[in-house]
Structure 1
């Protein structure tokens, strides 16, 4: 069994115990292609389209009422179809229940158009890494910026222990998402502890940061998804409303995310390599919302 396979097995068996965090700290998962981040490439900003281009997908049925629903944020149901687009002209005609798009580069008008067509919309936000091309980049002090993300010019890991610095910055980003009309946030790069970040981050540091991010999103009135960080999925699932995963089938880690499905929370999943026939049977059996995407996350998709 490979080290990754052993770690996944330990996570699956022990994730509900304190031991799970220790068992899952070693090494990056590699599920993001580049091996030290958790997001597919952004080769260009999403450009809001001028055409209506709206499909006729009806609104998704609301999940059953629960005490948590009174808190005011969206609670997505298992089985929703989705589109994930972070580059190229925004294609609003894709027949998907949920759109996941860049929060800074998608306009309020485009969010409103998608929602008018019955979609829910997720706001992509980089929570665990600094991006020098963002409008608020200068607000991140050098003291919280660590090593560069390999293959991602202009990006550096953040010291997630410094919540005093990061909370107001993320709060401003989440508020922008809410004010544009987004339903949820997808905080990226929330697995710095398992990468060469430049900081001595532990699994416990990451758990604390990820829970704080989830709580901040909820206090802003937004649903929140756990991005990758499969090793900690079991202990983090109660704090999050859905999961977003890259390549769990390729790395034989999908079973670790079943904890979300068991809790009535969807797993929005993509693979970049191979054919859909290679992974769809497995992820259908797990009730994941799966599709194949190109690595640059343009509009093209091939759903299961």
Structure 2
């Protein structure tokens, strides 16, 4: 369990003037989303996203997934009690869709302690050879019952971005179109947008990020619409909802015609 102590110097140091340059994924590159299990990328793939526990794909641009705003399912006890968001009865506030307890990012002190752990994860990503980090659940404040705010989320992602940039990692904005206009101040270099065609949100991302947007769709209709509207400019992939590996039974992975 993370101790409630003063931050380690590596985590609380300000950005260095000599921090490595960060580079977002190449715009429009052929993409594969492998969060449910790493496997050899299909021929022609240029960019891969994998869970932080996996090794990067050799010779490709690699994005490292970290769950930065919520605890993994059943893992809330791995966090200090006060770092898990709680309701009036002291019970964890849970994202019901994924059975994940929300982290309490409501104060500077708690954000700093959470960011310390996330920084350790991003350091591991950098040491493995990843090029970027994808901090998930930026939008968890929308599932907090009003206990967390957009300002809390923006302050948290800014800390995460600062430390990731120190490691030489580009930082993705994961979903959360309502905060895309703040991407510069938050230090976000590109976007990973799930189902933005399905919910007619892709233009919100491209207005702020240009072509530096990766689109993941989970239905045939939305995937076809995304390819028709942005297939020549954005990275677009059709995946199964579990983003599973081949041979799992439910595996789906397609890219736009011509990719």
Task: Please indicate, yes or no, whether the TM-score normalized by the shorter chain is above 0.5.
Answer: yes
Runs of 5+ unmatched residues, structure 1:
1-67
The corresponding residue for 1:127 is: 68
Match of 2:215 among 245, 269, 272: 269
Match of 2:28 among 76, 79, 88: 79
Q: 1:295 to 1:97 in 2, by over 3 A?
A: same
**Is structure 2 residue 133 aligned with structure 1 residue 192?**
no
The Cα shift of 1:87 comes to: 1.7
Question: What TM-score does the superposition give when structure 2 sets the normalisation length?
Answer: 0.78
Q: 1:277 to 1:168 in 2, by over 3 A?
A: closer
- Structure-to-structure mapping, 1:60-75, within 5 angstroms: 71-75=20-24
Question: What TM-score does the superposition give when structure 1 sets the normalisation length?
Answer: 0.67
Structure 1's consecutive aligned runs of 4 or more residues displaced over 2 angstroms after TM superposition are 68-77, 91-95, 259-262, 274-279
The corresponding residue for 2:50 is: 101
Task: Return the alpha-carbon distance in structure 2 between the equivalents of residues 203 and 234 of structure 1.
Answer: 12
Say if 1:243 and 1:260, in contact at 8 Å, map to a contact too.
no
Aligned-residue RMSD, C-alpha: 2.3
Partner SS for 2:27: coil
The corresponding residue for 2:83 is: 144
Count of residues in Structure 1 that have an aligned counterpart in Structure 2:
222
Q: 1:69 to 1:284 in 2, by over 3 A?
A: farther
Match of 1:284 among 211, 231, 237: 231
Runs of 5+ unmatched residues, structure 2:
1-16, 86-92, 246-251
Task: Return the alpha-carbon distance in structure 1 between the equivalents of residues 168 and 28 of structure 2.
Answer: 23
Say if 2:24 and 2:212, in contact at 8 Å, map to a contact too.
no
**Is structure 2 residue 247 aligned with structure 1 residue 301?**
no
The corresponding residue for 1:4 is: none
The corresponding residue for 2:105 is: 160
Task: Return the alpha-carbon distance in structure 1 between the equivalents of residues 97 and 135 of structure 2.
Answer: 20
